[in-house]
Amino acid sequence: MTDWTVSILLVSWNTREETRACLDSLPTGISDDLRYEVVAVDNGSRDGSAELLAGYPQVRLLRNEHNLGFAAAVNQAYRHASGELILLLNSDVRCHPGALTTMVDHLRRHPEVAGVSPLYLNPDGTFQQHYVNLPSFAATIALVTALRRLPGFRHALHRFQMRGGDFSRPRLLASGSCMLLRRQILPADRIFDERFPIYWNDAMLARSLRDAGHQLWMIPHAVVTHSRGASCRRLGATIRYRHLLGSLVEYLALTEPRYKLTVFRAAALVDHAVKRLCGRPVPLGLGDLRAALRGDVGALPDGDIRDWLVIVEESGGPAATEPAWEPYAGAPGAAHEQPDKRVLLVRTTSRVRPPWRLSVRTEDRTTWHATLPAVLPFGRYVRWIDRINLRLGAGRLRRWLDRHAGARVLYLANERAVAMIGYVGEDEVRQPAPRLPEPEPVHA
């Protein structure tokens, strides 16, 4: 197979360690003398990813000053590629022995197949259900609204997600995280539609190839490990969901009749209104929701995208030196030792009347202080008013965080933090670590 050359297209955005593991796995994934090249695009990373890529002699590195998006970066790499076969490879994928060779061999033996994807495993070695069908209209509504609880919508969503599917045998299916394609079936200058910067670009590609009569297959004999969402997690929940929803609207605008898009928008707006009336957290504020329903995904995040550790201070004063927080990466006592995190200390009360507006100030590169506003009076004396103020203030804090990319971890240090769950757009909540007892003194 020495006449088969593979161009591996790799996009990097602040995933340095995942990218290192991915590149180091490539020689393992090739069990013969298959020729390959790696064309990598770094989308303005701030974590040293570009410097890491520059240190690999087999990598042709293209560096962008800013984040151009996944689709644009893939197309950029594609225009510099020279192989007969094109491998779309996410930076959080690691090849198992012979995986790439097995995929190439499948294309060699089956000329009717246009592309092939492997079997995915989670980092713990369990099977990862990372495959989806092209969505039906009912599945798109179920994906973004509570209508997924109704049997018809639930079944449509499960068909889209391929719940209970048999992946122990080759089948017509593909995944954009790791997909090997014949160059001859692709356009000359692009692979992805750049109107879909992050999400749904692979669905549009699969749809266009299917409509052209091409077959895409998944084969279980080629195996990779996939960390899943290494870059997307750094977007933060709100930015991530706006891109997901906005790109889905664009997908429907291109693939469905206009009246169905109107129905989809109405269902999303009604779902948002009902959740707000019931006091349930919503993934987007009204302004972001309306923009996403127009197909506007917003600006791509750039600059500082470190994770946020949100710590709610006790009402009586700050607890930023609490030793029980030390085990958490980025906790105040360890902030300067772990500059890859940002700590946001949230004060919910003060000795003077809290301001009507949210106040946020920075102490240094790792620590921010926020004071929540008190929208309603008498919150100090009436518990239910205090709870309303807390949630309204958390909503304003969320809008501030929405302008600052990065995953959010809400640290449940006290009851006030628990009351804010779902209102700051957190990606994760963490319980406090148990305090270890002091050692007994040893007497001579």
The residue extents of the domains of the chain are 5-131+167-228, 236-293, 307-430
| Residue 319 CB partners (closer than 8 Å, separation 6+) | 313, 413, 414
DSSP letters spanning 6-72:
EEEEEEESS-HHHHHHHHHHHHHH--SS-EEEEEEEEES-SSSHHHHHHT-TTEEEEEESS---HHH
| Residue 266 CB partners (closer than 8 Å, separation 6+) | none
In terms of average pLDDT, the best of 191-205, 295-309, 313-327 is 191-205
The predicted-structure confidence for 351-391, as pLDDT tens digits, reads as follows 555 567 888 998 777 899 998 888 888 777 788 888 888 88
Does residue 330 register a pLDDT over 70?
no
pTM score: 0.81
| Distance in angstroms (rounded) separating the CA atoms of residues 133 and 163 | 10
Contact at 8 Å (CB) between 235 and 269? no
Return the pLDDT at 105.
95
Q: Which whole number is the average pLDDT over 44-53? A: 92
Does residue 2 register a pLDDT over 70?
no
Q: Which whole number is the average pLDDT over 232-239? A: 81
Q: Which whole number is the average pLDDT over 187-197? A: 95
Does residue 8 register a pLDDT over 90?
yes
Does residue 198 register a pLDDT over 50?
yes
Return the pLDDT at 318.
42
Q: Which whole number is the average pLDDT over 81-108? A: 95
Alpha helices in 61-200 (DSSP H): 70-78, 99-109, 137-144, 151-161
Does residue 320 register a pLDDT over 50?
no
Paired residues of 408 in beta bridges: 308
Return the pLDDT at 313.
80
Q: Which whole number is the average pLDDT over 1-19? A: 83
Return the pLDDT at 237.
79
Return the pLDDT at 384.
86
| Residue 295 CB partners (closer than 8 Å, separation 6+) | 246, 247, 249, 250, 253
Comparing 154-158, 193-197, 347-351, 381-385, the range with the smallest average pLDDT is 347-351
Give the position of tokens 């997307």: 232
**Residue 69 corresponds to which tokens in the numbers above?**
């998006």
User: What mean pLDDT value characterizes the chain?
Assistant: 87
| Distance in angstroms (rounded) separating the CA atoms of residues 98 and 226 | 16
More confident residue, 436 or 133: 133
pLDDT bucket at 128, cuts 50 / 70 / 90: very high
Return the pLDDT at 331.
45
The predicted-structure confidence for 241-299, as pLDDT tens digits, reads as follows 999 999 999 999 999 999 999 999 999 999 999 998 987 888 888 889 999 999 999 88
Return the pLDDT at 349.
67
Q: Which whole number is the average pLDDT over 79-88? A: 95
| Distance in angstroms (rounded) separating the CA atoms of residues 350 and 365 | 24
Return the pLDDT at 324.
38
| Distance in angstroms (rounded) separating the CA atoms of residues 47 and 44 | 9
Does residue 437 register a pLDDT over 70?
no
pLDDT bucket at 133, cuts 50 / 70 / 90: very high
Return the pLDDT at 59.
95
Burial pattern 313-330, b for ≥16 Cβ within 10 A else e, equals bbeeeebbebeebeebeb
Cα→Cα distances 433→326, 412, 427, Å: 9, 10, 19
What angle is formed at CA 31 by the lines to CA 29 and CA 33, rounded to 5 degrees?
115
Does residue 31 register a pLDDT over 60?
yes
| Distance in angstroms (rounded) separating the CA atoms of residues 237 and 400 | 13
DSSP letters spanning 377-426:
TTTTT-HHHHHHHHHHHHHHHHHHHHTS-S-EEEE--SHHHHHTTTTS--
| CATH architecture type of domain 5-131+167-228 | Alpha-Beta Complex (3.90)
Q: What percent of the chain has pLDDT over 90?
A: 58
Q: Which whole number is the average pLDDT over 127-139? A: 94
Alpha helices in 278-348 (DSSP H): 286-293
Contact at 8 Å (CB) between 72 and 203? no
